[in-house]
Structure 1
Amino acid sequence: MAFKTTSLNHSISDDGRRELTIKEFKRWLMRFDTDKDGRISKSELRQIVKATGGWFSGLKGSAGIKSADKNGNGYVDECEIENLIQFAQKELGVRIIPY
């Protein structure tokens, strides 16, 4: 699945995945932070899945929170972003590059 948004300049890898730097990925995520609390909730993650063209956004949103939310508070915050990066690479068809 590729991002449907074209607001960021992305490169496409050989396998067809969008490549984003960690900084670009974080900036893109925060566009979905509708309550502007600096965290991603399950409903916000559901919107992210939908925006990438993903199916079963409710299930994937729940799975994403479960896999990324290590402290169990129901949100993915800055200290858990690496977990969300892993989820995005596996479930959303993106490749996150360090620079």
Structure 2
Amino acid sequence: MPLEDRLLEFNTGSIQELVYDEKENALWMVQGNSSGFRKLDLRNYELKQFKVHEYIEEDIPDINYPFESILIDLQDDIWLGTWGTGLFVFDKRKSISTIIIFIPKHRIQ
């Protein structure tokens, strides 16, 4: 595949943090300014966007969760940390997110 076909364009901002997933040969990333996270499949350079509120089991408002950090644990779950909004875990096998800690924005001092 020619290099120019592998260039990616991000519409909003820059990448805040990324982590390499050896099992899937993919990069998972957060941008810090959106409620989503992305997966770049390095085998075919396909970029997929995940919005947390679309995968969450709990009933929470659809607001912006500015993700600051991302980590893959030994069980292959993805942990997403925010700055003051909460901590989320994403189960890649089931495509389900769970809120570990949720702090509504109106309560942040």
- Do the two structures share a fold, i.e. TM-score over 0.5? no
- Report the TM-score when normalising by structure 2: 0.27
Identify the structure with the greater helix proportion: 1
